[in-house]
């Protein structure tokens, strides 16, 4: 398909080809058709959203464009010419860059060394450093080329990923969940950068589950469901609800809140907790004090890498504290008890790291369900109750709409969002007395995210004490009763959600709260 531009001068007719055109793109795996005859067109300078539920086929399509996977059928036209993208290096030579959701940086190397690794042509470090400074300042993404990556806050690490693409002057930039680790202020700055790129003619393929961002930023959207294109939209003419309905094929479920009981007994108390980081990539915890009551949701906001992992490890028992009384559950000192013993006391845990901490890649769904639920009469006399375990695993799959073939599927055969739904559902269905959920809806589509959030609210209403650690301010404001912020290992005072704003919490995430760290983390 050509985009036609009529010029009156000398009665000429100029044809401007689309930057990228996909025709009938199909990718078939043994258990699923990931992409089923997908058509997509993006013009020069267009910001184009690709929307879909978890497992809809978005990532597979992006990988085909970037040369990571080879499509089984279909044609790719690049600036009007039919091509076959052989690999990522070939994609970069064409002018295609990709910023992945998970950073691919070496923490012990400098910014310039990391960027040099991605360059297809050899460049001396001094010249490349000058180029990094030039490009980063041009797009408002200032970076110090000589700074070690492990010393950078997560917002600056994402800048490295973006500048690594921009330095090669891409004609098409693919961005996968680019704002998931950013404060509201940093999101505004990124949008300004993307609009500048668009004005210069760079096309942008944008994947995000944040529908308000899609509406604000993107010119057009392609909606994919179960591997097929189900519609196209102009986001500015839609509402987040209408976009969500296109994605999931039905009305978006809405979370319903009851008035919380803020007078419950203290279920968890953490006091005078300090810990020196165990390696150069960690964060020191500085005199942490907080509590959460039964029947309330405490949200902890913060930019990734500011001590969340260390705090979680101390609460769930992966790190033992110096004094048992640093951590109390229902008034009992448990700082010296390991994770298993804390789980036996009613602790549930949804880790941020899905594979490795939340699930075992080599196991199927039934065995992964058993990992943390065996205490609930699923193992007797050292023998597994297979029938009962299978029944509960199926309940988890059904209740949380986990898209899979069944309980015998390997967990690695699921999309990231579906793995997250399974792990979160497994913990929630155990009805714990205390649950710690780290990024519970990270990478999960809007429909499934609302199911998870409502389940967390229902746990709170049933008397469970809930701690939610999240970088999603929308999520925290939707489900939490109180909020705190962690920055550089310091924990802020708590605020009732009704007494604060996203803007105030965004500023606190930079470390600017009473008795907080002086240096900003953004």
Most confident of 1-5, 130-134, 139-143: 130-134
Same domain, 214 and 313: no
Residue among 275, 280, 247 nearest 450 (CA): 247
The average pLDDT across 418-430 equals 91
Say if 470 falls within a structural domain.
Answer: yes
pLDDT higher than 70, residue 8: no
Name 175's Cβ contacts closer than 8 Å, sequence gap at least 6.
98, 99, 194, 204, 205, 206, 207
Say if 214 falls within a structural domain.
Answer: yes
* Alpha carbons 72 and 28: distance in angstroms, whole number: 7
Say if 202 falls within a structural domain.
Answer: yes
Sign of the alpha-carbon torsion through 307, 313, 314, 319: negative
How many Cα atoms are found within 13 Å in the side-chain-facing hemisphere of 422? 35
Say if 318 falls within a structural domain.
Answer: yes
Residue 485's domain spans which residues? 266-355+433-508
* Alpha carbons 149 and 156: distance in angstroms, whole number: 9
* Alpha carbons 107 and 388: distance in angstroms, whole number: 45
Say if 459 falls within a structural domain.
Answer: yes
Same domain, 346 and 447: yes
Same domain, 311 and 181: no
pLDDT in tens, 346-374: 999 998 877 778 899 889 999 999 999 99
* Alpha carbons 135 and 137: distance in angstroms, whole number: 6
Same domain, 299 and 345: yes
Q: Specify the pLDDT at position 183.
A: 66
pLDDT in tens, 11-27: 444 457 899 999 999 99
pLDDT in tens, 294-312: 999 999 998 877 889 899 9
Same domain, 226 and 283: no
Same domain, 292 and 341: yes
Of the two residues 190 and 311, the one the predictor is more confident about is: 311
Q: What are phi and psi of 20, to 5 degrees?
A: -140, 135
Say if 109 falls within a structural domain.
Answer: no
Say if 390 falls within a structural domain.
Answer: no
Residue among 213, 210, 206, 266 nearest 478 (CA): 210
Where is the domain boundary, 195, 215, 248? 248
Of the two residues 411 and 11, the one the predictor is more confident about is: 411
Q: Specify the pLDDT at position 181.
A: 63
Q: How many domains does the chain have?
A: 2
Q: pTM of the prediction?
A: 0.73
**What is the largest distance, in Å, between two alpha-carbon atoms of the chain?**
90
pLDDT higher than 60, residue 412: yes
* Alpha carbons 306 and 267: distance in angstroms, whole number: 25
Name 58's Cβ contacts closer than 8 Å, sequence gap at least 6.
50, 51, 52, 207, 224
CATH number of the domain within which 45 lies? 3.40.50.300
pLDDT in tens, 194-236: 999 999 999 999 998 888 889 999 999 999 988 999 999 999 9
Same domain, 7 and 82: yes
pLDDT higher than 70, residue 180: no
Where is the domain boundary, 248, 275, 307? 248
Instruction: Report yes or no: 334 and 345 within 8 Å, Cβ to Cβ.
Output: yes
Percentage with pLDDT > 90 across the chain: 54
Same domain, 188 and 278: no
Say if 324 falls within a structural domain.
Answer: yes
Same domain, 499 and 453: yes
pLDDT higher than 60, residue 10: no
Same domain, 176 and 322: no
Same domain, 65 and 206: yes
The pLDDT confidence band at residue 433, using thresholds 50, 70 and 90, is very high
* Alpha carbons 201 and 171: distance in angstroms, whole number: 7
Most confident of 116-125, 226-235, 241-250, 261-270: 226-235
Same domain, 291 and 239: no
Where is the domain boundary, 217, 248, 279? 248
* Alpha carbons 23 and 220: distance in angstroms, whole number: 18
């Amino acid at each position: 398909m050509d985009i036609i531009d009529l010029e009156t001068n000398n009665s000429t007719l100029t044809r401007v080809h689309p930057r990228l055109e996909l025709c009938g793109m199909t990718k078939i795996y043994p258990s699923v058709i990931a992409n089923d005859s997908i058509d997509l067109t993006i013009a020069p300078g267009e910001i184009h959203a690709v929307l879909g539920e978890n497992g809809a086929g978005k990532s597979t399509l992006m990988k085909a464009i970037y040369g990571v996977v080879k499509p089984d059928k279909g044609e790719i036209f690049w600036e009007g010419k039919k091509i076959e993208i052989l690999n990522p290096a070939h994609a970069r030579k064409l002018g295609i860059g990709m910023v992945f959701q998970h950073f691919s940086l070496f923490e012990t190397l400098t910014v310039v060394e990391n960027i040099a690794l991605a360059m297809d042509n050899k460049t001396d470090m001094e010249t490349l450093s000058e180029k990094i400074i030039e490009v980063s300042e041009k797009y408002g993404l200032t970076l110090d080329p000589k700074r070690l990556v492990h010393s950078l806050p997560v917002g600056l690490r994402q800048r490295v990923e973006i500048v690594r693409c921009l330095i090669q002057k891409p004609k098409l930039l693919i961005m996968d969940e680019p704002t998931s680790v950013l404060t509201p202020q940093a999101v505004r700055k990124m949008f300004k950068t993307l609009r500048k790129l668009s004005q210069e003619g760079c096309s942008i393929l944008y994947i995000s589950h944040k529908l308000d961002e899609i509406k604000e930023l993107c010119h057009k959207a392609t909606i994919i469901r179960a591997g097929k294109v189900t519609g196209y939209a102009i986001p500015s003419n839609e509402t987040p609800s209408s976009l969500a309905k296109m994605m999931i094929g039905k009305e978006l479920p809405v979370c319903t809140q009851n008035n919380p009981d803020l007078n419950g007994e203290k279920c968890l108390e953490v006091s005078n907790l300090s810990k020196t980081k165990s390696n150069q990539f960690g964060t020191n915890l500085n005199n942490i004090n907080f509590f959460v009551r039964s029947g309330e949701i405490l949200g902890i906001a913060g930019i990734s890498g500011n001590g969340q992992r260390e705090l979680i490890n101390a609460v769930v028992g992966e790190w033992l504290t110096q004094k048992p009384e640093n951590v109390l559950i229902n008034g009992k000192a448990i700082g010296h008890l390991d994770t298993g013993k804390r789980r036996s006391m009613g602790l549930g845990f949804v880790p941020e790291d899905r594979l490795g901490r939340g699930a075992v890649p080599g196991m199927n769904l039934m065995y992964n369900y058993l990992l943390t639920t065996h205490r609930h009469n699923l193992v007797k006399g050292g023998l597994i109750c297979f029938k009962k375990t299978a029944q509960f695993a199926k309940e988890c799959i059904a209740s949380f709409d986990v898209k899979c073939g069944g309980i015998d599927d390997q967990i690695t055969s699921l999309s990231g969002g579906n793995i997250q739904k399974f792990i979160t559902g497994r913990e929630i269905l155990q009805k714990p007395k205390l649950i710690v959920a780290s990024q519970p809806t990270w990478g999960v589509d809007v429909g499934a995210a609302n199911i998870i959030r409502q389940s967390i609210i229902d746990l709170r209403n049933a008397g469970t004490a809930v701690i939610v650690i999240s970088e999603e301010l929308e999520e925290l404001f939707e489900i939490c009763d109180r909020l705190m912020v962690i920055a550089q290992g310091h924990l802020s005072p708590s605020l009732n959600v009704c007494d604060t704003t996203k803007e105030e919490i965004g500023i606190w995430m930079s470390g600017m709260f009473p008795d907080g760290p002086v240096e900003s983390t953004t």
